[in-house]
Structure formats: C-alpha cells, structure tokens
Amino acid sequence: MRTGSDVPCVGETAGGGADATSASAKPVILRGWRHTDLQFAGGVSQSRMRTFRPGHLAVDYTRTMMASLLWCPRPALIGMVGLGGGSQVKFCHRYLRQTRLEVAENNPHVIALRRTFRVPRDDARLQVLLADGARFVQERRGRFDILLVDGYDASGIPAELSSQRFYDDCRDALAPGGVFASNLYATDFADHLSKLRRSFGAEHVWMLEEARQSNRVAFAWVGDPFPDGRIDLPAIARVLPPRLAKDLAGEFQRVAAAWRAR
C-alpha cells in the first residue's frame, strides 16, 4: 500500500446517509508503522491517521476543507457529517478551544473505533451522535457557523447526501455568515456543483481540485465574507489560534492564491 498523501482516499467518513447496508458495514483497520488506515472495500482508505501524530491532518483534502476558517475564522459551532477516523474532529477539538463540535455518524462500528483513532470522548465542546446525516442537517436550521460534509459509503456519496433537498438543508443549517465545505471524490462533481449553485446561488459556490488526489473540495456560503473581494490572510491569521494558523499556513496561502486567480 502506498503511504503519504497520494494514497487513494475516498473520505474521512464511513457513511452519513440513510442506507442500511452502509450503516451496518464493518470497517477494516490496517495498522502500519507510520499510519493506521480505516477501509471498507477495494483497498481505498476512508481515513488515515499518523501513528505518532494522531491529531495531524494527514490527507490533503482534509486540510483544504479546514480553509473554511478563512470564511469564518471564529466559529462558535461546527457541524460535521461523517466521523470516520475523526481527523477533522481531533484537529478542531485540539486547536479551536472556543468552538463546539457536533458530529453525525450513521455507522455504530465506526463510532466504536473512537479509541483506536484517538478521537476524544464527548465533553462540553464535542458531541458525536449516531445519526442519519441528512436528518441531522435538516433538523438544525440556522445552527452552524461551519458545516463540513464528508459522507461516503462503499459505493460513494449516498443519494441522501447528494440530493437537491440535502443541499438546500445544508444552506438552511448555516448561521448568518456561515460556510459549507464538502469532499467530492471521484464523483460527478458537476452535478453536485449544479445543485449547490441552485441552493446557495452561483456567486456563493466555489470548488478546488487537489493536486495529488482525485478529490475536490466544494465551498458554499451565505452572506459576503470578503467585502473587498480578497482574502486578507494577515488579518485572518491574527484572529486564529497561532498554532492552527501556522499548521495550515500552506493551505491558507494556496486557497487564497486560487481565490485571487479564479
């Protein structure tokens, strides 16, 4: 198996839709000296953890998704659809001490692996729910400052997490000024973008490709996060936790450069 960020990686989750098969599938854990991988089928990882740095975002697209902080650098509440190995959960829990996290995962076997992947226990800032991802979003109108969607099963993105209704619900689940980010892996991304544009408006949707993976990250937002049309990295960095800003500096610079060139 290849190692490093060029490893085939579907997503950080094992589900999030309503499909009964995906919700009961048992993942396979592959342990190596450098990495621990969560897989379901086909030798494609759905999550990867560095053995000696469990809180590090080891896969490129997960770091790009965290660039949603450029739109909303001080989130009070982040919602996530899909737990998987909990990479983004661990990262946010570690660095964003003033932020609460609500996570929906529909596969109890994945939730049972929290200790394996060193996902923190629930506390005042973290709640992991055994829940259908589509219903989770639908029931939380106006709630999230950031909503991260990374829900996959063995066949790809479940239908419940790729419908027009779902994307409408994602928009409605955002608080004023909120931002949505989604991982699109080896899928008909044009169809997803079309639905997102109908939900958010064409001028509020943007997509980035990953150079070393078959992943794309779609961003969508409400409001006007950059009134002068540019991402002011120094100003944003000043309000982010210093260690987080340093860790993601390369991704922030890449996203800001792509924003300027769009």
Single-letter residue type at 224: D
Number of Cβ atoms within 10 Å of the Cβ of 86? 32
Phi, psi (degrees; rounded to nearest 5) at 24: -115, -5
Cα 24 from Cα 6, distance rounded (Å): 28
Cα 125 from Cα 11, distance rounded (Å): 24
Provide the annotated active-site residues. Answer: 150
| Pairing label, strands 28-31, 77-81 | unpaired
Q: Do 158 and 19 meet the contact criterion of CB atoms below 8 Å apart?
A: yes
Task: With CA atoms as reference, report the closest residue to 93 among 55, 49, 38.
Answer: 55
